[in-house]
Structure 1
Amino acid sequence: MRSDLPNDMQQLLDDIDHFIDTEIAPLQAENDNERFFDHRREWARTDFEAGGLPRPEWHELLSEMRRRADKAGFLRRDLPTEVGGTDASNFEMAVVREHLAHRGLGLHNDLQDESSIIGNFPSFHLVWKFGTGDQRSEFAEALITGERFLGFGLTEPDHGSDATWMETTAVRSGGDWIINGAKRWNTGMHIATHDLVFARTSGEPGQARGITAFLVPVDTPGLSVDLFRWTLNMPTDHADVSLRDVRVPDSAILGEEGRGLEIAQNFVHENRIRQAASSLGAAQYCIDEAVSFARDRVTFGQPLAARQAIQWPLVELHTDGAMLRELIRVTARDLDTRSHMEVSDRVSMCNYRANRLVCDAADRAMQVHGGMGYSRHLPFEHIYRHHRRYRITEGAEEIQIRKVAGHLFGFTGKKK
């Protein structure tokens, strides 16, 4: 599905493949690193006796992959030229994310950690776009190299998609702020140096204005990581966090006071289109593997591929993928040239449909492969367990469908 791509984009994909084949695949094959990707993957990655957190040696392997990718000039493509990037467009990143996921499981693009040879740095972009000069100096390069890591504290025990109703508060105390509240699914807290905590500083529950984002060092007194929630796909990095009289200076605010929700929305918008592309790539991988197996597998004297019960479901999935690919790429191009809010409904279309597609494709690939498809010796169960989360996180699909409906029926957007 590359015939419609510009020559420079096709060359980039060829360069990516060459780098993976010559640098990353051999690293994956060293020292039984395959244990992180074959049937042992969940157990090799997870320290079940330490709360289900990722094993240090798993993180070390990912770090080595990123170091090699950075040296080769791939890791920072998405970043500004000021820090060694190429200011890659949303269109380029959508194409790349699909391509990497389409290659299947591997160190080049790990689904679970969203760790790739072409880095995904949402926290960097938030600091770069909304941060002060001092915040950029402290965090920008450090977030790339791993010396700094930001947790993301938006969701709460009683509030998920309804973030405007969050109960975490921050009140002024002299020149400081005192934060009280609780966060759930606070991602990345096992390695975070700081937590990006969203708290209401003014306004009323349900109002978008009045929520502020704070960069809180994790060793600040009163901040407590209470529990890491075990999930369908392990290891976990999703914490329950308590904030009890956490004191931070005014300089900890990221962006404008009271406009923190804009930061959260910025985080999910570009992430959603890229994640949709990744889901599409993983879905196409599942479809292609099922088709290949059906051609080779002979039952009752005929290949599975000769049976309509096998053909038709895969044709439906393949068709959905082809249509979704066009929508994702057009939407990504528009994100590069238009206001995010102008295309937010199409971003939601791409995201919820792609996340459904990959779950359906993984499920169908399991079915076509029979008992082996259900086993951990093939990657489909891992793909399903990972991508199933995206039908909930970063805006549940019901929320995204509601957004599309708002534009369709004129409740929001230009028709309002």
Structure 2
Amino acid sequence: MSFIESDERKALREAVRGLATKYGQQYFLDCANTDRKTDEMWEEAGELGFIGVNLPEEYGGGGAGMYELAIVMEEIAAAGTGLLMLVVSPAICGNIIAKFGTDEQKQRWIPGLADGSITMAFGITEPDAGSNSHNITTTARRDGDEWILSGQKVFISGVDQAQAVLIVSRTEDAKTGKLKPALFIVPTDAPGFSSTMIDMDLKNPEKQFTLFLDDVRLPADALIGSEDAALSQLFAGLNPERIMASASAVGMGRFALEKAVSYANDRTVWKAPIGSHQAIAHPLAQCKIELEAAKLLMQKAATLYDAGDDWGAAEPANMAKYLAGEACVKTVDQAVQTLGGNGLTVEYGVAAMVPLSRLTRIAPVSREMILNFVASASLGLPKSY
């Protein structure tokens, strides 16, 4: 891992920044306020090769890795926009299909995932399972050469803009004991598949849904990988999920910090910019330090993942997600405090980030579950559950 980004990565970062600033926070908020999707930005990002930068070149992707896709996510978020489906479609679903799909499945799905013409959601969380994935009850049973899926999922992002959902289930003969995930691609127009939007108090164009799978019949080739796959098949998607969530949180924190620093330099009280006072300057300096620390952990995780070390990437990916979420919440809060009353106005666009930043401590994995993981996996302490 080099601390100096290559010329290619620098160029990618600059190109993404150009796209993101072209749209910016106002575009994102306008879409959220008028119940529109960020389709224009998504389509342009796909045309420029940003969405599928991590996917295999032979199937239409950019042939790079999670490090590069994290650059895309970070720079988009740093411009005050958000493309949540970047976390889901190319990072989770794309990586799983690229690693475990058949050649036919790769040909069918990856080119569209890479150019953004296909968006795929990811369904793992269930109402009665939550963070305990071993309690997943969505079941796949064989019926001749076909599969029949039954179950329910909750807090699934972007179903209304997806053509398919990658569903995590278990086979009928594996309902108890340790989770043996079986992953199926379910078209959103499949008979028996339905969804209901969850009313969230967030300014975000990308919505959350509850899914219902009522005996959804699927062909044999809807199964990705093996029905007896180990958890490594799931980790192929969950580590990228945490890396991308970290990138989003770091980018959002950068955006908030830039707003606060700009205001602290311009706002003059008692004949001096308020940024000259340590009570303003020091908290912002702390935010900068913590965001940079989170970014380094994220880059370490991406580097290990791209090197093929899924298990080695798990620790820094989780740590990065934890630290990025904490730093993002702290930075957004400090930006509001720096701007004072202006921090709560629509004009300055800082208050809108408060609930979105809070989400970074909860999804896609809560800070408490990350602490559980680090305590047991990194420190060797006994599990509390």
Name the TM tier (shorter chain). Answer: 0.7 to 0.9
Q: Tell me, yes or no, if structure 1 residue 6 matches structure 2 residue 21.
A: no
Q: Tell me, yes or no, if structure 1 residue 43 matches structure 2 residue 33.
A: yes
- The 5 A counterparts of 1:211-226 are 211-226=181-196
Distance in 2 of aligned mates of 1:267 and 1:206:
22
- Structure 1 residues 85 and 182: CA distance shift in structure 2, 3 A: closer
Distance in 2 of aligned mates of 1:92 and 1:317:
24
- Cα distance per residue 1:121-179 (max 9 Å; x no partner): 53222222221222222212223344433232211111121111012222222332222
- The 5 A counterparts of 1:381-396 are 381-396=351-366
- The match for 2:44 is 65
Answer whether contact 1:279 1:354 (CA < 8 A) is retained.
yes
- Structure 1 residues 147 and 37: CA distance shift in structure 2, 3 A: closer
**What amino acid sits opposite 1:384 in the alignment?**
V
State the shift of 1:115 in Å. Answer: 5.4
- The match for 2:55 is 79
**Any idea what SS the aligned residue of 2:228 has?**
coil
- The match for 1:375 is 345
TM-score, normalised to structure 2's length? 0.87
**What amino acid sits opposite 2:320 in the alignment?**
C
- Structure 1 residues 207 and 384: CA distance shift in structure 2, 3 A: same
**Any idea what SS the aligned residue of 1:343 has?**
helix
Q: Tell me, yes or no, if structure 1 residue 91 matches structure 2 residue 67.
A: yes
**Any idea what SS the aligned residue of 1:370 has?**
helix
- Structure 1 residues 93 and 136: CA distance shift in structure 2, 3 A: closer
- The match for 1:203 is 174
Answer whether contact 1:327 1:350 (CA < 8 A) is retained.
yes
Answer whether contact 1:230 1:236 (CA < 8 A) is retained.
no
**Any idea what SS the aligned residue of 1:195 has?**
strand
Answer whether contact 1:166 1:205 (CA < 8 A) is retained.
no
- The 5 A counterparts of 1:15-414 are 15-17=15-17, 19-20=18-19, 25=22, 28=23, 36-37=27-28, 40-44=30-34, 46=35, 55=36, 58-66=37-45, 68-70=47-49, 74-102=50-78, 104-105=79-80, 110-114=81-85, 120-201=90-171, 202-209=173-180, 211-259=181-229, 261-337=231-307, 339-410=309-380
- Cα distance per residue 1:270-307 (max 9 Å; x no partner): 23123313322321232233122112211233321232
- Structure 1 residues 217 and 278: CA distance shift in structure 2, 3 A: closer
Identity %: 26
Unmatched runs of 5 consecutive residues or more in structure 1 = 47-54
State the shift of 1:99 in Å. Answer: 3.9
- Cα distance per residue 1:328-382 (max 9 Å; x no partner): 3333323333522123112111111101111110111011111221122223233
- Structure 1 residues 155 and 229: CA distance shift in structure 2, 3 A: farther
- Structure 1 residues 163 and 382: CA distance shift in structure 2, 3 A: same
Answer whether contact 2:123 2:153 (CA < 8 A) is retained.
yes
Distance in 2 of aligned mates of 1:62 and 1:257:
37
Compare CA radii of gyration and give the structure with the larger one: 1
Unmatched runs of 5 consecutive residues or more in structure 2 = none
**Any idea what SS the aligned residue of 1:184 has?**
strand
Distance in 2 of aligned mates of 1:329 and 1:146:
24
- Structure 1 residues 386 and 129: CA distance shift in structure 2, 3 A: same
**Any idea what SS the aligned residue of 1:138 has?**
helix
State the shift of 1:411 in Å. Answer: 5.1
